[in-house]
Structure 1
């Protein structure tokens, strides 16, 4: 048997983790065909089939599952050893991958990312803001960003950016001649701009006042999937939108939008950066968290 290279084994581990040649190739920064050829070559060297492949799915064979169980902790120890070497050099390096929603990415890009990249130029930051919630371990991310209340319990969370407030907004031109809603149920008498979540479901607007919590499936003939578009449509007089306050702030300041149901829109716990509790913390992520906390203290 020909001994496989470390690159071959890393390619196998990536495909096994993602159960997809396309996703693994994206994470590794190689073409799908190159990755496929590497796996075929590895199977040839080992003399066993590692994956069951169909046009729709990829799954491990028994031999592949056995190899992964032994290989995964070895690769983790290797990553830790290389990271320790990076620390001894005095500066983090390598790639840091963070999955963030658009709100989180916007906040990070304002102050945290510029300072981090200035301090650690040897780190390549890959900030992905595709909108959907992902399993950061399965998808090969070092950390993720989401609302604090939605962070899985087996993760370590670092809160940042202060509280987040979702608000209902509309253009004065839309409200002209219409009754101002006093309760969330009054929205049923209005035209609302609905939001499609990355999961495909339509978002039910959630309101809180004292001990009362109400979720409203609002009416409307326009559905969008982006907060910037929701705000713009509201400013254009298309109806009432429900968005994070910082997306609407420029339009509120210029008078293009006004708030509605203010007393039903209290602040929530805000955003958090999170990462796996029981995995080695890369020096690049540790440095990013330090910068995040420094910036947050200075707000």
Structure 2
């Protein structure tokens, strides 16, 4: 059976006044510590005693002492209150300067292209930030997963997110190894791909991604077949370099093997483009200094 739960109004009222009096054994000195008047401290303690249903102090004209209930309350409330104060200071610290754990959800292909070149300089610049990079090609719920931000291709970012551009728009390139193209020929049209081994990507929602092209103003999606299905672009790219088949990947991650002669592009004239790579987060009001520092460092390193 579900139990009703409510936070009692004023449950913590008077505790700071009680602790100050218990520390000084004097209402006037407690008031001076708290920056209030002695009558205000007396009133707060009396209200706390009324809620507790027990006297917490023994008062005489010359001294103030703790009753047995007061001592028991001090033994338990004192450490708990100090922990609350420490917790508040820790939260305030994170909210005011770049510190704490910064968790990012990032596709594997993005790590070597965008993050690796700036990780060392960021960690040196912000030694009080712990940077955690969760490399996964699955789309995650940032809030549910405990992430501060994510990095994804622009077309996959929800409209209610704040997006920060990290790269210009770029094309998707079809690539194959020189040996594969020598053995199987170079496709000249989309229809030619049906005679090739096409390496495909399975998206996080379980669907196999079609290959995308543009013919004039017409967008074309081709559902193809081949010997390999992977969940990330680096795996597809590695298989293409080993001659397993053709792969369609974002051009930035294929540029290095193309420049090294390990891969050759085909069908460049009808390559589809993507808006680019973006960092995204839930909203401007939720940007803590640690995330703001990371965004600014990414921009300066670009």
TM-score normalised by structure 1 residue count: 0.67
Residue equivalent to 2:157: 151
Question: What residue ranges of structure 1 are gaps of 5+ in the alignment?
Answer: 1-48, 50-60, 68-77
Residue equivalent to 2:210: 204
Q: Deviations over 1:42-73 (max 9, x none)?
A: xxxxxxx8xxxxxxxxxxx5747x78xxxxxx
The structure with the larger Rg is 2
Q: Count how many residue pairs are aligned between Structure 1 and Structure 2.
A: 224
Residue equivalent to 2:33: none
Cα distance in 2 between the residues matched to 1:117 and 1:190: 45
Residue equivalent to 2:250: 244
1:83–1:163 CA distance, 2 compared to 1 (3 A): farther
Secondary structure of 2:205 counterpart: coil
Q: 2:176–2:265: 8 Å Cα contact kept in structure 1?
A: yes
1:239–1:154 CA distance, 2 compared to 1 (3 A): same
Q: Are residues 1:169 and 2:180 paired?
A: no
1:240–1:99 CA distance, 2 compared to 1 (3 A): same
| C-alpha deviation, 1:264, in angstroms | 1.4
Q: 2:199–2:236: 8 Å Cα contact kept in structure 1?
A: yes
1:219–1:93 CA distance, 2 compared to 1 (3 A): same
Cα RMSD after superposing both structures = 2.6
| C-alpha deviation, 1:112, in angstroms | 3.0
Cα distance in 2 between the residues matched to 1:140 and 1:87: 17
Cα distance in 1 between the residues matched to 2:87 and 2:255: 43
| C-alpha deviation, 1:134, in angstroms | 0.7
Cα distance in 2 between the residues matched to 1:63 and 1:147: 44
Secondary structure of 2:113 counterpart: helix
Superposed, which structure 2 residues align to 1:1-299 within 5 Å?
A: 63=4, 82=90, 84-86=92-94, 91-277=97-283, 279-296=285-302
TM-score normalised by structure 2 residue count: 0.67
Secondary structure of 1:221 counterpart: coil
Cα distance in 2 between the residues matched to 1:203 and 1:79: 46
Question: What residue ranges of structure 2 are gaps of 5+ in the alignment?
Answer: 8-85
Secondary structure of 2:269 counterpart: helix
| C-alpha deviation, 1:179, in angstroms | 4.1
1:188–1:98 CA distance, 2 compared to 1 (3 A): same
Q: Deviations over 1:238-262 (max 9, x none)?
A: 1111112233223212222111100
